[in-house]
Amino acid sequence: MAPEEPSGRKRLSRKRLLGFDRSGPEHPATRAGQPLRPFTIPNLIGYIRLAAIPVFLVISFDSGDGRDPTAAILFFAIAFGDLLDGFVARATGQYSRLGALLDPVVDRLTILSGAIVCWHFDLLPHWALAALAVREVATLILAQMGLRKGADIEINWIGRIAVFLIMGGIFWSLVLDWEIIRIGFSVGVVIAIVATVMYARAARLAIKAKAAEGAEKPA
Q: Which range (33-42, 43-52, 116-125, 173-182) has the least confidence?
A: 33-42
Q: Which carries the bigger pLDDT value, residue 49 or residue 108?
A: 49
145 pLDDT more than 90:
no
So where are the chain's domains?
27-214
* pLDDT value at residue 124: 97
Percent of the chain with pLDDT over 70: 77
Q: Which CATH superfamily is domain 27-214 in?
A: CDP-alcohol phosphotransferase transmembrane (TM) domain (1.20.120.1760)
Provide mean pLDDT across the span 14-28. Answer: 60
Encode pLDDT of 184-218 as tens digits. Answer: 999 999 999 998 888 788 777 777 776 666 666 65
Each residue of 29-87: pLDDT tens digit? 877 778 888 999 999 999 999 999 999 999 999 999 999 999 999 999 999 999 999 89
pLDDT the model gives residue 31: 78
Confidence bin at 20 (pLDDT 50/70/90): low
Would the pLDDT of 5 be above 80?
A: no
* CA 163 – CA 165 distance, rounded (Å): 5
Q: If pLDDT is split at 50, 70 and 90, which confidence band does 6 have?
A: very low
Residue 1, pLDDT score: 44
Candidate from 4-8, 13-17, 48-52, 103-107 with smallest mean pLDDT: 4-8
Q: 23-53 burial by CB neighbour count: b if 16+ within 10 A, else e?
A: eeeebebbeeeeeebeebebbebbeebbebb
Does the pLDDT of residue 90 top 60, yes or no? yes
Does the pLDDT at position 8 exceed 50?
no
Q: Write the DSSP string, the chain.
A: -PPBPTTSPBPPPHHHHHT----SPPPGGGSTTS-----SHHHHHHHHHHHHHHHHHHHHHTSSSS--HHHHHHHHHHHHHHHHHHHHHHHH----HHHHHHHHHHHHHHHHHHHHHHHHTT-S-HHHHHHHHHHHHHHHHHHHHHHHTT-PPPP-HHHHHHHHHHHHHHHHHTT---HHHHHHHHHHHHHHHHHHHHHHHHHHHHHHHHHHHHHHS--
